[in-house]
């Protein structure tokens, strides 16, 4: 039987790499998105169907899961209004949406669910992001479905919202002021994350398991910022380390600016915990983790084949 897959959150950074891999397997792919124009890269793929609707609206998921063999949930956000244990926006996307997906799948007797969470998801985590991701995971683990959860560390790739941000900042500022510069991270390549998801799709040994996805090397945040500035500008920008309290004030300033903040107070809280993995999640799926430097150096310097889309993408985001 041809796999018939529903993707939620596929128009984002990771989804853009998952969809072509699924298409290569001749899967039938339905992409549920609130804005079909974000899925324009996929319209030439013959087996892709776009459903323009909000997954949170009653009845949408019930309809979308009909006759599917699997659901892949990539929906996630980085910022939320504040609240305890997490704000309402995190609650909506990281907890209530998985709950709705589970209910719709059960009603339609669809059993296979692949869900992307985040490394360090923890009900007692220091950030709302981490606590909300943990709450979503708990629902999935209790769902009775054939679930697989992926927990990537910070993800790098030509369209990332991470190294590209530091590269842009380095173009404008001679010194970068930063809280959490000693936080340790283990960035994972977006193609490896996408490959892990696609590979696990029909593999029963991945059912009811959680895979931490991390790259081959651990870096401090400071090292990653310096690496990004070197690639983007040809010189290493000095880092001015900020204490947590000033970092929070800096983030509050960003939150007050229009649009999506460069960094939120919750992002600063996330940096208080190292984001590294002792497990070999990618390797256990037969994937060798890709090193960051050669690839990041290319796209941060604008030499990657996809880099010429950057200005367009930044202009039209959200
Ligand atoms: N990128 C990373 O470094 C990283 C690291 C660890 C974990 N993750 C997790 O991996 C997943 C994918 O990340 P990404 O970087 O690809 O994210 P992204 O580029 O921000 O895209 C996220 C997707 O979520 C969907 N979404 C956002 N708000 C929604 C809402 N209210 N209702 C329904 N859908 C909503 C959007 O779909 P539409 O706008 O099309 O509806 C969007 O395509 C997320 O769960 C994220 O938390 C990412």
> Which are the contacts of 260, defined by CB distance < 8 A and separation ≥ 6?
78, 79, 317, 318
Strands 155-156 and 188-189: parallel
**Ligand 1, atom nearest to 155 Cα:** 3
95 ligand 1 Cβ < 6 A: no
213 ligand 1 Cβ < 6 A: no
pLDDT computed for residue 315 by the predictor = 44
> Which are the contacts of 77, defined by CB distance < 8 A and separation ≥ 6?
89, 90, 93, 94
The number of beta carbons lying within 10 Å of the beta carbon of residue 108 is 17
SS (H, E, C) the chain: CCCEEEEECCCCCCHHHHHHHHHHCCCEEEEEECCHHHHHHHCCCCCEEEEECCCCCCCHHHHHCCCCCEEEECCCCCCCCCCCCCCHHHHHHHHHHHHHHHHHHHHHCCCEEEEECCCCCCCCCCCHHHHHHHHHHHHHHCCCCEEEEEEECCEECCCCCCHHHHHHHHHHCCCEEEECCCCEECCEEHHHHHHHHHHHCCCHHHCCEEEEECCCCCEEHHHHHHHHHHHHHCCCCCEEEECHHHHHHHHHHHHHCCCCCCCCHHHHHHCCCCECCCCCHHHHCCCCCCCHHHHHHHHHCCCCCCHHHHHHHHHHCC
**Ligand 1, atom nearest to 89 Cα:** 31
Render each residue's pLDDT in the chain as its tens digit; 318 residues: 789 999 999 999 999 999 999 999 989 999 999 999 999 899 899 999 999 999 999 999 999 999 999 999 999 999 999 999 999 999 999 999 999 999 999 999 999 999 999 999 999 999 999 999 999 999 999 999 999 999 999 999 999 999 999 999 999 999 999 999 999 999 999 999 999 999 999 999 999 999 999 999 999 999 999 999 999 999 999 999 999 999 999 999 999 999 999 999 999 999 999 999 989 999 999 999 999 999 999 999 986 555 545 444 444 443
Would you put residue 259 in left (φ > 0), alpha (ψ -120 to 50) or beta? left
pLDDT computed for residue 78 by the predictor = 96
CA separation for the pair 266, 82 (Å, rounded): 8
35 ligand 1 Cβ < 6 A: yes
CA separation for the pair 249, 264 (Å, rounded): 10
Query: Where in the chain are the domains?
Result: 4-155+187-215+276-290
Q: Which CATH number fits domain 4-155+187-215+276-290: 3.30.930.10, 3.40.50.720, 3.30.70.1150, 3.40.50.300?
A: 3.40.50.720
Task: Report the nearest-CA residue for atom 19 of ligand 1.
Answer: 12
13 ligand 1 Cβ < 6 A: yes
* 22 within 8 A of 31, measured Cβ to Cβ: no
* 112 within 8 A of 27, measured Cβ to Cβ: no
The CB-side HSE value for 72 (13 A sphere, CA atoms) comes to: 30
| 155 CA distance to ligand 1 middle (Å) | 12
Which of 6, 7, 12 to probe ligand 1 with, by most ligand atoms within 8 A of CB? Answer: 12
Which of 34, 50, 75, 277 to probe ligand 1 with, by most ligand atoms within 8 A of CB? Answer: 75
Task: Report the nearest-CA residue for atom 34 of ligand 1.
Answer: 75
> Which are the contacts of 140, defined by CB distance < 8 A and separation ≥ 6?
98, 102, 113, 115, 147, 149
The distance between the two most distant Cα atoms of the chain, rounded to a whole number of Å, is 57
* 74 within 8 A of 68, measured Cβ to Cβ: no
**Ligand 1, atom nearest to 133 Cα:** 47
**Ligand 1, atom nearest to 152 Cα:** 6
50 ligand 1 Cβ < 6 A: no
Structure tokens at 18: 């998952």
pLDDT computed for residue 1 by the predictor = 78
> Which are the contacts of 271, defined by CB distance < 8 A and separation ≥ 6?
179, 180, 183, 221
């Amino acid at each position: 039987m041809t796999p018939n897959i529903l993707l939620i959150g596929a128009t984002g950074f990771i989804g853009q790499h998952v969809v072509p891999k699924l298409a290569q397997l001749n899967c039938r792919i339905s992409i549920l998105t609130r804005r079909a124009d974000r899925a324009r890269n996929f319209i030439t793929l013959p087996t892709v169907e776009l459903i323009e609707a909000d997954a949170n609206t009653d009845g949408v998921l019930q309809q979308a899961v009909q006759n599917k063999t699997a659901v892949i949930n990539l929906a996630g956000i980085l910022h939320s209004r504040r609240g305890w244990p997490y704000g309402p926006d995190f609650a909506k996307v990281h907890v209530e949406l998985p709950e709705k997906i589970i209910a719709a799948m059960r009603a339609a007797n669809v059993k296979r669910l692949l869900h992307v969470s985040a490394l360090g998801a923890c009900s007692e985590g220091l950030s709302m992001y981490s606590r909300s991701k943990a709450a979503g995971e708990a629902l999935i683990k209790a769902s009775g479905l054939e679930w697989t959860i992926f927990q990537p560390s910070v993800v790098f790739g030509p369209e990332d919202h991470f190294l590209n941000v530091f590269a842009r900042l380095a173009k404008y500022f001679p010194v970068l002021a930063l809280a959490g510069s000693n936080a340790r991270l283990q960035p994972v390549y977006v193609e490896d994350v996408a490959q892990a998801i696609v590979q696990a799709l029909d593999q029963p040994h991945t059912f009811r398991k959680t895979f931490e996805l991390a790259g081959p090397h651990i870096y401090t945040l400071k090292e990653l910022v310096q690496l990004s500035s070197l690639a983007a500008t040809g010189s290493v920008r000095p880092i001015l380390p900020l204490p947590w309290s000033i970092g929070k004030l800096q983030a509050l300033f960003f939150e007050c600016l229009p649009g999506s903040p460069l960094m939120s107070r919750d992002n600063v809280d996330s940096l208080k915990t190292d984001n590294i993995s002792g497990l070999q999640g990618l390797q256990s799926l037969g994937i060798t983790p890709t090193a960051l430097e050669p690839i990041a150096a290319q796209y941060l310097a604008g030499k990657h084949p996809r880099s010429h889309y950057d200005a367009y993408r930044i202009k039209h985001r959200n």
